[in-house]
Amino acid sequence: MTKGGNVAKAAVLALVLVAGTVVRADAAQCGNGPGGFETWKQQFGEEARAKGIGASAIGALMQTNYASATIAADRSQRSFGLSLDQFLAKRGAAGIVARGRAMKQSHAALFASIEQRYGVPPGPLIAIWGMETAFGSQRGNQHMLSSIATLAYDCRRPEFFTDQLYAALKLIDRGQLSPSQRGSMHGEVGQTQFMPKTILNYGTGNLDNAANALMSTANFLHANGWRSGAGYQPGEPNFAAIEAWNAAGVYQKAIALMGRQIDGGGSAAER
């Protein structure tokens, strides 16, 4: 490559480290603390406006605050490093299974309808519902947009959360999410804790409604390869769809195990 070509390439790909901040020539600057967040918001807002995000969503972004609690939670996800037995005990698996079996009976018509449409049996859906929000009772009380904006600004995983932030802004533009929506530490919302991009792709209504959330979860699993009637334990065809739901191996195995127990395939103490 010519010297001029090297210079041009360097200009396009410029990455400069300044006081712990990564500066890109073509994007808002990420950071590792609250100091640059307000400047980043202005830069990101201009980029979002140029990509067609509306004034109401941009205005909502400008009202966000740096979410220190979200950053602390993002740095301390220790439970995914536990053994399966430890993880199941910490998450209260026996209680989820017991209550899940009762939920399967009391919502039998809903789960039959979901399985007929998407091919997903009640067990793994109920296990996800219980694991994510204790059947809707613990949906989080963080300001969703502030959490996602903070993580999009943070240098640890800006690409992933930038996509989530754009999705959240689109949902606000469309009136599908409120700018004041509350959620969990990473911006998850609803009964089964969907991220904004997942809502855009698979959501089937208001996810604070249990039926909508369960149908949306089944839609996600179906879209990620779930085959009606196939097994969903590790090594079986539908386990890959559970892997798509959450990247943590111990979480995946827990969902598969609890799902089987809820569907009638063993006791809550079985491993």
In the chain, where are the structural domains located?
3-63+141-183, 78-139+191-262
For residue 8, the model assigns a pLDDT of 42
CA distance 173 to 152: 19
For residue 265, the model assigns a pLDDT of 63
CA distance 250 to 134: 18
Q: What is the CATH number of domain 78-139+191-262?
A: 1.10.530.10
Asked whether 77 and 152 are in contact (CB, 8 A), the reply is no
Residue identified by tokens 């809502």 is 199
Spatial CA neighbour of 138 closest among 151, 129, 150, 147: 129
Asked whether 122 and 111 are in contact (CB, 8 A), the reply is yes
Q: How would DSSP label each residue in the chain?
A: --HHHHHHHHHHH-EEEETTEEEETTSPPPBSSGGGHHHHHHHHHHHHHHTT--HHHHHHHHT----HHHHHHHT--GGGGS-HHHHHHHHTHHHHHHHHHHHHHHTHHHHHHHHHHH---HHHHHHHHHHHHTTTT----EEHHHHHHHHHHBSSSHHHHHHHHHHHHHHHHHTSS-TT-EE-TTS-BTTTTB-HHHHHHH--S-TTSHHHHHHHHHHHHHHTT--TT---STTSTTHHHHHHH-S-HHHHHHHHHHHHHHTTSS-TT--
Rounded to two decimals, the pTM is 0.85
CA distance 134 to 143: 20
Asked whether 196 and 167 are in contact (CB, 8 A), the reply is yes
CA distance 216 to 222: 10
CA distance 254 to 271: 10
The one-digit pLDDT tens for each residue of the chain (271 residues) are 444 444 444 443 333 333 344 434 346 889 999 999 999 999 999 999 999 999 999 999 999 999 999 999 998 766 678 899 999 999 999 999 999 999 999 999 999 999 999 999 999 999 999 999 999 999 999 999 999 999 999 999 999 999 999 999 999 999 999 999 999 999 999 999 999 999 999 999 899 999 999 999 999 999 999 999 999 999 999 999 999 999 999 999 999 999 999 998 654 444 4
Which amino acid does the sequence have at 56?
Answer: S
Quick one: angle between helices 144-153 and 55-62, nearest 10?
Answer: 80
Spatial CA neighbour of 163 closest among 140, 137, 187: 187
Report residue 258 as tokens: 């609890």
Quick one: angle between helices 55-62 and 37-50, nearest 10?
Answer: 170
Maximum separation of any 2 CA atoms in the chain, in Å: 72
For residue 261, the model assigns a pLDDT of 98
For residue 12, the model assigns a pLDDT of 38
For residue 79, the model assigns a pLDDT of 66
For residue 215, the model assigns a pLDDT of 98
